[in-house]
Structure 1
Amino acid sequence: MSFPLRDTAAVAAGALAPFAAALVLMPLRTSVTHTNLALLLVVVIVAVSAFGNRFAGALAALSASAWFDFFHTEPYQSFHIQDRADIETAVLLLVVGLIVSQLAARGRTMKRIAVTDATHLERLHGTTHLARFSTSSDDVVQRVRHELVEVLELRACRFEYGTLIGRLPRLDPDGTVKVAGWIWDLERQGWPEGEIELRAIVHGRYQGRFLLTPEPGSVPPPLEARLVALDLAVQAAAALDDDGVRTGPRS
């Protein structure tokens, strides 16, 4: 299994950044209290957690506690601690570091969710506005096709007018994918091979289908993104339905 470069860098930072910080702070260990030195190491833990993930933050907390013990408690250059107050400081550094790292990672996750939700809302608003005011249903279809590539992280997407042909895997209105009538386990199995159809239906009338081609080996997007994709397809279907009412069915 491969890991994103950012996560790999964060884990490396979690292991090495507290060591480097503890080493840099060595000249201050006789003039600054151990509590203040521990607080400076907490700052490093927060930085690693904000940049990386929960695992990287926890690793930074463990690393900071260990190197605080090694460099800043007597006997120096040893993982043995003689003074009870130093033991308490090292334990508190570990506990506080673990808590702060999880809070920082959670904050980063919530920020990412908020940004993602705002992006989805912008996609839906822009497409809805185009569907309402555009005189060309083809423009709406092309807009939706482009948005589907982005929101589902696809390699390609095309639209097919006309009747249904074949039994392709299908993205259903509840966000699940069905293959031959059975619900496909996206989280465990990833995308099914080949194209996946997303039907453009409005008011019970079928207008066509988007044929989705995922990137090979890519992780399927979360349910929220798949539901946005379904809403986008409805906007295309509505534009095609209105066009059909004005000009007659498209062949």
Structure 2
Amino acid sequence: MRRYLVHLVPSGPFSLLLAAGAPLALSAVLLPFRDSPANTDIALLLVVVVVAAAAFGHRLAGAVAAVSAAVWFDFFFTRPYQQFAIDKSSDITTAVLLLAVGLAVSQLAARARRFRVVAITDAGYLARIHDTAVLARSANSALTVVDHVRDELVDLLQLRGCRFEYGSLLGHPPSLQHDGTVRTEGRTWDADVLGLPERGVELRMFGNGKYVGRFMLEPTPGTVPSRQARLVAVTLADHAGAALDSLTRPVKAA
């Protein structure tokens, strides 16, 4: 099964440890040469590490790397050495700028990475919708479309399972609405925070405005499908509903 939404970057405590340790590691490498290059050159090299931490970690990792870079620049490369003190006003300026630029660049890098993830995700969602639409037009059996959509829903919403029920409604389970919200017991369920209700959610299918069946979604505990994913799920269900409606629609005589 294809996965369109992928995790591009590490997260959690490990990335923070890497972000904090990378400037220290680079400082150790540059330490034997601290009397050769200008402090501004060393500061620029440390900014590169901050950018890398933000690009391959997350926003907090970039901020941690920026603080770490400023601290170790002060400790190793400004007089008095091996002390958290700075004698020269120019070095104070460089250290402050290193911290400020590092924080700013880490924010920009994190934002650029987030836009990249959004773009990849949106492309994946469009591909799902396109593939399902093509199948709905070309499949010889509506049930082929239903089976395809059921598999897509499991993958898209990270479900434990999903079953198709044709015909009349039974019971009053929570329901995934066309606007991506979830309704249960007459009120809106906060699916953006709580995920889908674990007792199961129905996703109704309509063809030509007529109810034709539903998918019963079995959520995986602890997962929180995004609103975008839920809206795509509704669109996929609409394709399945249209395919089912074509089975019951009378054929006009030529």
Shorter chain as denominator, the TM-score bin is: over 0.9
- In the alignment, the residues of structure 1 paired with residue 241 and residue 108 of structure 2 have an alpha-carbon distance, to the nearest angstrom, of 43
Work out whether 1:125 is the aligned partner of 2:126.
no
Match of 1:241 in 2: 245
Alpha-carbon separation, structure 1, partners of 2:186 and 2:248: 30
- Equivalenced residue count is 243
Amino acid corresponding to residue 238 of structure 2 in structure 1: V
Correspondence 1:159-170 to 2 at 5 A: 159-170=164-175
Q: Which residue of 1 aligns with 2:42?
A: 37
Q: 1:68 aligns with which of 69, 73, 79?
A: 73
Percent identity between matched residues is: 52
Contiguous gaps of at least 5 residues in structure 2: 1-8
Query: How far is 1:151 from its partner?
Result: 1.4
Partner letter of residue 223 of structure 1?
A: R
Cα shift readout 1:5-33 (whole Å, capped 9, x = no counterpart): 63332211111111111111101211011
Q: Secondary structure at the match of 1:32?
A: coil
Match of 2:159 among 154, 166, 169: 154
Paired residue type of 1:16 = G
Q: What is the Cα deviation at residue 246 of structure 1?
A: 5.6
C-alpha separation in 1, matches of 2:180 and 2:208: 19
Q: Which deviations, in whole Å up to 9, do the C-alpha atoms of 1:188-234 show, x marking residues without a partner?
A: 3332121100001132211111111111122x222111111100000
Give the whole-Å Cα distance in 1 for the aligned partners of 2:193 and 2:55.
Answer: 29
Counterpart residue type for residue 163 of structure 2: R
Which residue in the other structure is 1:113 paired with? Answer: 118
SS in 2 for 1:119: helix
Indicate the residue corresponding to 1:90 in structure 2: 95
TM-score (norm 1): 0.93
Match of 1:49 among 51, 54, 61: 54
Counterpart of 1:188 in structure 2 is 193
1:102 aligns with 2:107: yes
Q: 1:158 Cα shift? A: 1.2
TM-score by length of 2: 0.92
Q: Which amino acid aligns with 1:162?
A: G
